């Protein structure tokens, strides 16, 4: 069976109370979890401890990820969250999401530092790219291909085009898993997870409702 990753990227959404509600509702659906599927929830930084604590008690295939990581080690870097600290709560980190590149001006050089930092702290990077030719830093095993026009637009990329890009990425890099992200819903997820070169999905908007996210897992 093909191993796959279903990742929830909550972005800058949810309060502590909303997170508790999401988790409680999600547990009802935890019988949907399958052995071949790793479900990773990536909440904002302050919610990582709550999600991590809850998941540890519930299922071994549930994991926690951060949405970013500092490019620096721990030290005098005001406002940054170090990999060493993140590692207490998260086993994955999304790095290079197009919103980070766009709104926070992160460039390839900084992203390579983030990847190196994550790896040195035992955190697995999920490296996002929006074009097939984008440089992928050394050591990255999981790449999420997310075309800009597909993110949050309700217009997902054509599955055949996604397959072509995913197989190209695998040929050119030592990447093990390529995921697709951009307007994933319970209705369309299987069109992507059934592609031979795709090993899962990165879900934004549709992950904010636990029942919709559970449906995505069910149909993946």
Per CB under 6 A, does 204 bind ligand PGA?
yes
Please pick, from the candidates 19, 183, 193, 210, the single residue that binds ligand PGA as defined by CB under 6 A.
183
- Would you count residue 202 as binding ligand PGA (CB under 6 A)? yes
How far is Cα 78 from Cα 59, in angstroms, rounded to an integer? 35
> To which residue do tokens 């993110």 refer?
151
* Displacement of CA 21 from its chain's centroid (Å): 21
Residue number closest to ligand PGA, CB atom: 204
186 binds ligand PGA, rule: CB under 6 A: no
In whole angstroms, what is the distance from residue 184 CA to residue 90 CA?
24
Residue 118 has which token pair? 């994550």
Q: Which of 146, 157, 163, 215 is catalytic?
A: 146
Binding flag, residue 215, ligand PGA (CB under 6 A):
no
Pattern 134-173, ligand PGA, x by CB under 6 A: ------------x----xx---------------------
Binding of ligand PGA by 217 (CB under 6 A)? no
Q: What is the DSSP letter of 127?
A: E
| Residues with Cβ within 8 Å of residue 174, at least 6 apart in sequence | 141
Residue 17 belongs to what H/E stretch?
helix 16-28
Q: Which residues bind ligand PGA (CB under 6 A)?
A: 9, 146, 151-152, 181-184, 202-206
The residues carrying an active-site annotation are: 97, 146
């Amino acid at each position: 069976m093909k191993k796959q990753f279903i990742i929830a990227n909550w972005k800058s959404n949810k309060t502590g109370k909303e997170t508790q509600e999401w988790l409680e509702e999600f547990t009802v659906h935890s019988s949907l979890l399958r052995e071949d599927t790793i479900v990773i929830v990536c909440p904002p930084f302050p919610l990582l401890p709550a999600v991590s604590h809850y998941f540890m008690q519930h299922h071994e295939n549930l994991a926690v990820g951060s949405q970013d990581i500092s490019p620096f080690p721990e030290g005098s870097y005001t406002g940054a969250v170090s990999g060493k600290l993140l590692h207490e709560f998260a086993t994955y980190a999304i790095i290079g999401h197009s919103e980070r590149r766009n709104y926070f001006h992160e460039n390839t050089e900084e992203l390579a530092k983030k990847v190196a930092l994550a790896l040195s702290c035992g955190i697995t990077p999920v490296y996002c790219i929006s074009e097939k030719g984008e440089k992928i830093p050394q050591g990255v095993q999981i790449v999420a291909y997310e075309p800009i026009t597909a993110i949050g637009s309700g217009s997902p990329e054509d599955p055949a085009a996604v397959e072509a890009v995913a197989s190209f990425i695998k040929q050119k890099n030592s990447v093990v898993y390529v995921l697709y992200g951009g307007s994933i819903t319970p209705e369309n997820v299987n069109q992507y997870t059934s592609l031979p070169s795709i090993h899962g999905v990165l879900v934004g908007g549709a992950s904010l409702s636990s029942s919709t996210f559970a449906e995505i897992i069910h149909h993946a």
